[in-house]
Amino acid sequence: MKNTALITGASNGIGLELAILHAANGGDLVLVARNKTKLDELKITLESTYKISVHTIGKDLSQINAANEVYLETQKLNIQIDVLINNAGFGAYGLFTETDWQKEMDMIQLNVTALTQFTKLYLPAMVQRKSGKIMNVASTAAFQPGPTMAVYFATKAFVLSFSEAIQNEVSDKGVNVTTLCPAATETGFQAAGEMEDSGLFKGRKLPSAREVAIFGYDAMMEGKSLAIHGTMNAIMAHSVGLMPRKLVAKVSRKLLSKV
């Protein structure tokens, strides 16, 4: 396989669009998601359209050590991963005292642990080859606390901080780590997180998953370390650091409240 990208959460949304973009650029793919049927359907389409090779792995990355199982499969098949895109993730809505702990444990496992483990497993070989790209998908949520989505916002803050630190460590080793920070996007995320009626989504025209994917993919290929989709989103994200933290939490709570 050539110029192979491993993409998690590739069965829909931004992950699916990133897979299409990489295939259109002539790159092979390893696609990972829970729904292997969807991945296999995508494999047929991409291979016939772009004449590339696609390997699919059905895996629930919210399960402990699932990332290592994926890694071992790629090792067994002798697939070199040139591009790692940690896209899989989900959120949950509600006051922390009322939300389901098991769901939040799964969220931390997927959004934080699996992403970190994938990076741990594939980065050393990239450094050794002095070549490779990683994209970790965070969110504009990474820049502030999120009352009513406390755990989700915290996981994305981890992704941003972790990715920026790793980028600093490897920037002189031929490897680049890009953190993609979308704002609210038209995907299945809001339905899965029961957020359709929050001020973040209701009544708003949102960018498509394809728009965000193109923006993120281009940023990764250009070697950018941080990619915040949308000019106003970038301004807001950077201005948060100038505001009192208590006020930031209040504004965030208002935005996330159901309308």
- Please state the φ and ψ torsions of residue 84, each to the nearest 5 degrees: -115, 120
Out of 120, 156, 173, 205, which one is annotated catalytic?
Answer: 156
- Integer Cα distance of 19 and 88 in angstroms: 13
255 in Cβ contact with 199 (< 8 Å): yes
- Please state the φ and ψ torsions of residue 10, each to the nearest 5 degrees: -90, 5
Active site residue 156: yes
End-to-end CA distance of the chain: 49
- Integer Cα distance of 57 and 7 in angstroms: 10
3-state SS, residue 34: coil
201 in Cβ contact with 195 (< 8 Å): yes
Out of 36, 152, 173, 258, which one is annotated catalytic?
Answer: 152
DSSP summary character for residue 59 = -
Please count the other Cβ atoms lying within 10 Å of the Cβ belonging to residue 220.
24
Partners of 54 in the β-ladder: 29
Active site residue 93: no
The catalytic residues are 152, 156
